[in-house]
Amino acid sequence: MREEATRGTAGRNEHIRSFVRRQGRVSNAQRRYYDEMMAKVGVPYRAAAIDFDRLFGRRAPRVLEIGFGMGETSALIAGRHPENDYLGVEVHTPGVGSLCKLIAENELQNLRIVQHDALEVLREMIAPGSLAGVHIFFPDPWPKKRHHKRRLLQPPFVALLASRLQVGGYVHCATDWEEYAQQMLAVLSAEPQLENAAADFAPRPPDRPSTRFEQRGQRLGHGVRDLIFLRRSAARGTPDSDA
């Protein structure tokens, strides 16, 4: 993910986005599948809660993935778990086109895409207590200290995220940037709606496929850290707006 300071939607406070809208190269295949598939699997942004039962035509556990990149992990997880429904959020067209291609090639029926800012999707389109899980894998670490405010995992965002989880629902984060991992651990641990499923960092779950970011980090000698937090049964405060 990339991020820049911009205004939010009308009537909302400004927020610092977790991405920069950039014009990445879109391959012919990505464009073709984007044009063909988004009418089938795309969910247009609007300020109203998604009716998941209607969207997927069934009732099942729902998992949100924020910033799916090129979509390889998203497609693998959805294929391995047909019992769950998945909603991926990404802003960059090459990645959206890539995931559209994977959905078509693997005939995935349980994966949909929103191409929009994740905070606004979470705030406006996801009802409180509606998610079984959230995946945030290898968000941009924004390593320079002056850019730390641009990181996605900040206290207001985590509070909003937690409010969208059902009791017992999980948030699973992973990063190969040690200092960001420590910040994630501190921010998630401080959120009263959540509790750590491990003593500190979690063992790498076998269900999380290895990503290109993870492989690159390992080549550079970076350790990968997973964090898994659960929604408490009795939380102190459940904010639902203005991260």
pLDDT in tens, 119-134: 999 999 999 999 999 9
Taking alpha carbons only, the member of 172, 169, 131, 167 closest to residue 153 is: 172
Instruction: Give the tokens for residue 152.
Output: 């996605």
Q: What is the pLDDT of residue 214?
A: 77
Q: What CATH number is attached to the domain comprising 171? A: 3.40.50.150
pLDDT digits (tens, 9 = 90+) for 28-69: 999 999 999 999 999 999 999 999 999 999 999 999 999 999
CA distances from 115 to 22, 67, 86, 93, 209 (A): 14, 10, 14, 8, 23
In a domain, 207, yes or no: yes
Exposure class string for 58-84: b at 16+ Cβ within 10 A, else e: eebebbbbbbbbbbbbbbbbbeeeeeb
- Evaluate whether 192 touches 216 at the Cβ level (below 8 Å): no
- Of the candidates 120, 105, 113, 109, the residue with the CA atom closest to the CA atom of residue 49: 120
Determine, yes or no, domain membership for 239: no
> How high is the pLDDT of residue 16?
55
Check whether 23 has a pLDDT greater than 70.
no
Which residues are within 8 A (CB) of 166 and not within 5 positions of it... i.e. 6 or more apart? 129, 130, 131, 132, 231
Instruction: Look at the chain and report how many structural domains it folds into.
Output: 1
At 95, is the pLDDT very low, low, confident or very high (cuts 50, 70, 90)?
A: very high
Name the strand (E) or helix (H) holding 121: helix 118-125
Distance (Å, whole) CA 133 – CA 112: 15
Give the model's pLDDT for residue 223: 85
> What φ, ψ does residue 68 adopt, rounded to 5°?
-85, 0
In a domain, 240, yes or no: no
Please, which pLDDT band fits residue 116 given cuts at 50, 70 and 90?
A: very high
Whether the predicted pLDDT of 234 surpasses 80: no
pLDDT digits (tens, 9 = 90+) for 170-198: 999 999 899 999 999 999 999 999 999 99
> What residue type is assigned to position 137 of the chain?
F
Q: What is the pLDDT of residue 17?
A: 57
Q: What is the pLDDT of residue 179?
A: 93
Give the domain extent around 66: 5-231
pLDDT in tens, 143-179: 888 889 989 999 999 999 999 999 999 999 999 899 9
Taking the C-alpha atoms of residue 160 and residue 64, their distance in angstroms, rounded to an integer, is 13
The answer to whether residues 96 and 75 touch, using CB atoms and an 8 Å cutoff, is no
Q: How far apart are the first and last CA of the chain?
A: 18
Whether residue 213 lies inside any domain: the answer is yes
Q: Please answer whether residues 133 and 63 qualify as being in contact, where contact means their C-beta atoms are separated by less than 8 angstroms.
A: yes
The pLDDT assigned to 221 comes to 77
Residue 6 vs residue 200, higher pLDDT: 200
* pTM, rounded to two decimals: 0.87
pLDDT at 8 over 90: no
Does residue 242 form part of some domain?
Answer: no
Inside any domain, residue 241: no
What span, in angstroms and rounded, lies between the C-alpha atoms of 231 and 111?
23
Phi first, then psi: what are they for 189, rounded to 5°? -65, -30
Tell whether the model's pLDDT for residue 229 goes beyond 60.
Answer: yes
Establish if 138 belongs to a structural domain.
yes
**207 assigned to active site:** no
Catalytic residue among 140, 207, 240, 242: 140
Residue 160 in domain:
yes
